Amino acid sequence: MFDGVEIAKRVFEIESKVIADLAKNLNEDFNKTIELILSIKGRCILSGMGKSGHIATKIAATLASTGTPSFFMHPSEALHGDLGMLTSNDILIAISNSGETEELLRIIPAIKRCKIPLVVMSGNNQSTLAKQADAFLNIFVEKEACPLQLAPMSSTTATLAMGDAIAAALMKIRKFKPKDFALFHPGGSLGRKLLTKVEDLMVSSHLPIVNPQTEFNDLISIMTSGKLGLCIVLEQDKLVGIITDGDLRRALKSNNKPRFDFKAKEIMSTNPKIVDANSMLSEAEEIMLKHNIKEIVVQKEDKVVGVIQLYAIGKI
């Protein structure tokens, strides 16, 4: 009987070992690669044929979105004019599992004449390409995950992982931050959360504000009209607590005291979590997820100015 799950598990086993083995082949050429990329004034150009070309395109996209200007150049097109895309300020990362890809080999003389640094990713450290490299990154794999040992599977996984390692190292050295990432991703949900401030989405009008002496029935009325599922407890305009519908239920269940006798100060949670109005939505979301809360009080210059809700951020 056909068992696709077992086949999938075998692929995962082979490819996970391939990635682990990459670390064993790392040497100072990896650091040299990073140094070369950091030293250039231009762009990081990636090139490869076939499946290596597809992986090169993805690595270029990752680098570009994480602070390293990059793009993909097709080797065949390079032979017919696209070499003009490169300048002496650029660096070329050539990807070929065999290290003998004809189209790449044919552009090397032009690369050398222009004194463009060359990094080679290959599974063959004795290949022609490897011998031409200023830095060589070994992506050798013992076996492909392909049952026929024909389609590049493990080798493309290894190449992609090496590209991710380069991008991560460059991000760390450049101190690339979430706000930098957001600048390159303004259209997606993540980008909007990283670029939008809390004050742009918070509820700021008709806030359900009470004082420590507010009685239970009034609490219920104010919380209901506020439609935020909470009351903000202020004393002389200072935040002293917060009351959620959960706080109300817990107070009633844990105490035989008539509900009409409860006051806000007996029910409220003190030291509530807060977020500054100038913080990004991503920061507010992180706080709420970390503390398993659905709303958070917003302050500006130590004054309560609003409430931000997790569900509202989720709609961004």
CATH of the domain at 218: 3.10.580.10
CB 204 within 8 A of CB 227: no
How many whole angstroms separate alpha carbon 261 and alpha carbon 15?
A: 66
214 shares a domain with 150:
no
Record the tokens describing residue 118, joined without a space: 């060359």
250 shares a domain with 102:
no
pLDDT at residue 74, rounded to an integer: 96
Any binding-site annotation on 74? yes
CATH of the domain at 112: 3.40.50.10490
Say if 59 falls within a structural domain: yes
User: Angle, to 10 degrees, between the axis of helix 216-226 and the axis of helix 245-253?
Assistant: 150
**What is the domain range of residue 302?**
198-314
pLDDT at residue 245, rounded to an integer: 85
Compute CA distances 275 → 99, 183, 236, 245, 287, whole Å: 54, 22, 20, 21, 8
Q: Is 304 exposed, middle or buried (0-12, 13-18, 19+ CB in 10 A)?
A: buried
Q: Based on C-alpha coordinates, what's the Rg of the chain?
A: 29
How many whole angstroms separate alpha carbon 178 and alpha carbon 70?
A: 19
Enter the DSSP assignment of 268. P
289 shares a domain with 207:
yes
pLDDT at residue 181, rounded to an integer: 78
CB 45 within 8 A of CB 73: yes
How many whole angstroms separate alpha carbon 63 and alpha carbon 140?
A: 22
How many whole angstroms separate alpha carbon 66 and alpha carbon 248?
A: 47
Cα 220 off chain centre by:
42
Say if 110 falls within a structural domain: yes
269 shares a domain with 168:
no
Enter the DSSP assignment of 197. B
What are the backbone dihedrals phi and psi of residue 309, each rounded to the nearest 5 degrees, phi first? -110, 145
Strand partners of residue 304:
299
How many whole angstroms separate alpha carbon 195 and alpha carbon 180?
A: 10
Say if 187 falls within a structural domain: no
203 shares a domain with 62:
no
Give the closest residue to 287 by CA, choosing from 272, 268, 266.
Answer: 272
Say if 298 falls within a structural domain: yes
Helix (H) or strand (E) holding 137: strand 135-138
13 shares a domain with 112:
yes
Last residue of a domain, one of 124, 144, 176: 176
What are the backbone dihedrals phi and psi of residue 69, each rounded to the nearest 5 degrees, phi first? -55, 120
Dmax (CA) for the chain in angstroms is: 89
Say if 193 falls within a structural domain: no
How many whole angstroms separate alpha carbon 37 and alpha carbon 46?
A: 12
141 shares a domain with 65:
yes
232 shares a domain with 154:
no
Residues in the chain, pLDDT under 70 = 1, 185-190, 259
Question: How many domains does the chain contain in total?
Answer: 2
Looking from the CA of 243 toward its CB, the CA atoms found within 13 Å total 33
pLDDT digits (tens, 9 = 90+) for 55-80: 999 999 999 999 999 999 999 999 99
Q: Where are the beta strands (DSSP E) in 207-254?
A: 209-210, 230-235, 238-244
CB 271 within 8 A of CB 282: no
161 shares a domain with 20:
yes
Token pair 């050398």: residue: 112
pTM of the model: 0.70
Q: In the chain, count of helices (H) and strands (E)? A: 14, 11
